[in-house]
Homo-oligomer: A and B are copies of this chain.
Amino acid sequence: MKRILISELKEEFINEKVLIKGWVHRIRILKKVTFILVRDRSGVVQCVIDNESINNVELKNESVIEIVGKVVSSQNKISNIEVVVENINILSKVKDELPIEVNNGLDIKLETMLDNRVLSLRKENINFILKVKAILAQGFREFLIRDGFTEIFTPKIVKDGAEGGTNLFNLKYFENTAYLAQSPQFYKQMMVAAGYEKVFEIAHVYRAEEHDTRRHLNEYVSMDLEMGFIEDEKDIMRIENQLLIYLMEKLRLEMSEEEEKFEFHIPKVPETIPYITFKEAKQILKKHYNKINSEEDLDPQCEELIYEYAKTYLDSEFIFITDYPKSKRPMYAMPKGENLTHSFDLIFRGMEITTGGQRIHDYDMLVNNFINKGLDPSNFGSYTEIFKYGVPPHGGLAIGLERLTCQILGLKNVREASAFPRDRQRLLP
């Protein structure tokens, strides 16, 4: 007998015998019968069994069971059918008191959620988060593959390949010291130059950052793309715009039930996401919110306010900020005039979810930029070297997958969008 998924159990199965498998979601013992809610990856169904038949079955919440039974019509909270149990078999026992309850929809504290990750992920109001994440990742790939991009796999153990700075994790690599890649930046540029022209990668990146905020992870999934033969960063912004339209459309198709049930809101992506320059952003912050940012960069509160502005005045939950000053961008950012760069960030619902821009493709300009930033180009030889041999004008971007998920779903903390997050304190589970 073949197992049937619970979501497929509809009225047309009434009077048929079925085999279902799953977890015991809830047990309710009445005088003569016991109701067992059974949960599998697709849904929950009510099963009913005589108390006599179940006397010797040691059932607990979260036991794994299989049930053969007959489908009958019913009026219960979950659906209009139920399963009358003919045979029940325990596949895996529960040996201990559950540290958290799975079968209620109540919120739990972040630490409790992450300490008991396997159990907290069984809660339906948490489980769907990582399904949304998976759909976003696959949507990213689908869109880009159709547009002629090639998927790449670049090393995470690197030597020259790190952009540098203080947020590198060190690694002993046999006799050498190596680092964990902060991004695939240099390698994706190299793959454009290797003739693939348009490339993407979805992979972990690593930041040894000390701060412990709701928006930071020390290991996260970066969705990167890089493409050659562009005019400037506007080409990259355009492709991100189209990509986001595709992603939200896909989510709408595959997650509409969840959207209603868990009350999140899949955003509408404008045909053309509005953009303002970094300078304009600072003026807007001052004029509309009387906020003067002491630093050159925009802090999280500024990002919130710029989002407020975009929503209120531009009718968009997304807004690009362009033309960042050189001092705020890395050595490979293509300069624009004396002080600016061909660069952009994308703010979505008050959080930066993308950094991108055009890169330098001229060898001399690149080497000089390294020097101007106080870096020794010879420490990056295997990267700079390639610019001697014909590299097309190019640019790209990176989207933080957990941040995107977090912002779409309105999660309080980006850690909720990671199955097993790594942060300043957490290496387990």
- Measured CB to CB, the residues of A under 8 A from B are 3, 5, 21, 23-24, 39-41, 62-64, 91-96, 98, 117-119, 121-122, 127, 130-131, 133-134, 137-138, 141, 145, 148, 150-161, 169-174, 176, 178, 180, 187, 190-191, 193-198, 203-204, 206, 208, 210, 218-219, 221, 229, 361-363, 382-383, 385-386, 388-393, 401, 418-422, 424, 427-429
A227 → B minimal CB distance (Å) = 10
CB nearest to A174 among chain B residues: B424
| Pair A40/B390 contact, Cβ less than 8 Å | no
Q: A153-B133, A160-B429 are in contact. Are A119 and B172 (CB under 8 A)?
A: no
Q: A63-B390, A95-B388, A229-B3 are in contact. Are A127 and B194 (CB under 8 A)?
A: yes
Closest to A66 in B: B229
17 contacts between A and B (CB under 8 A): A62-B389, A63-B390, A91-B392, A94-B390, A117-B190, A119-B194, A119-B389, A127-B195, A127-B196, A130-B196, A138-B151, A153-B221, A156-B156, A157-B206, A157-B218, A178-B427, A194-B419
User: Which B residues touch A363, using CB under 8 A?
Assistant: 95
CA distance in complex: A56, B5 (Å): 71
Could you tell me if A96 and B389 are in contact, using CB atoms closer than 8 angstroms? yes
Is there an interface contact between A419 and B64, defined as CB atoms closer than 8 Å?
no
In angstroms, Cα B94 to Cα A388, docked, is 5
CB-CB nearest in chain B for A158: B427
Q: How far is the CB of A57 from chain B (nearest CB, A)?
A: 14
* A92–B393 CB distance below 8 A: yes
Measured CA separation A95–B386 after assembly (Å): 10
B390 touches A93 (CB 8 A): yes
A419-B153 contact in complex given A62-B390, A91-B393, A194-B127, C-beta closer than 8 Å = yes
For residue A153, which residue of chain B has the nearest CB?
Answer: B221
Residue numbers in B under 8 Å from A176 (CB-CB): 427
Contacts of A96 in B (CB 8 A): 388-389
Given contacts A121-B195, A157-B422, 16 further A-B contacts (CB under 8 A): A23-B390, A41-B148, A41-B198, A64-B392, A91-B361, A91-B392, A92-B391, A93-B390, A127-B196, A141-B141, A153-B204, A155-B219, A157-B219, A169-B173, A173-B422, A203-B203
- Contact partner of A427 (CB less than 8 A), chosen from B127, B152, B159, B362, is B159
A195-B92 contact in complex given A153-B204, A203-B203, C-beta closer than 8 Å: no
State the CA gap A121–B199 with chains docked (Å): 14
Q: Smallest distance from the beta carbon of A77 to chain B beta carbons, Å?
A: 20
User: By the criterion CB–CB under 8 Å, are B92 and A41 in contact?
Assistant: no
Evaluate whether A190 and B41 lie within 8 angstroms (CB atoms) in the complex, with A153-B419, A221-B153 already known: no
Taking the closest CB of chain B, its distance from the CB of A194, in whole angstroms, is: 4
Distance from A130 Cβ to chain B, minimum over Cβ atoms (Å)? 7
Instruction: Return the contact of A196 from the options B41, B151, B154 (Cβ within 8 A).
Output: B41
How far apart are the CA atoms of A157 and B148 in the complex, in Å? 33
Closest to A137 in B: B151
Given known contacts A92-B362, A196-B41, A428 and B390 CB-to-CB distance under 8 angstroms: no
A419 contacts B154, C-beta separation under 8 Å: yes
A385 contacts which chain B residues (CB < 8 A)? 429
Kindly state the separation between the CA atoms of A290 and B130 in the bound complex, as whole angstroms.
Answer: 53
A103 CB, nearest partner CB in chain B, Å: 12
- Please, how many angstroms separate the alpha-carbon atoms of A386 and B95 in the complex? 10
**Chain B residue at minimum C-beta to C-beta distance from A127:** B195
> Chain B's nearest CB lies how many Å from the CB of A213?
16
Contacts of A229 in B (CB 8 A): 3, 21, 91
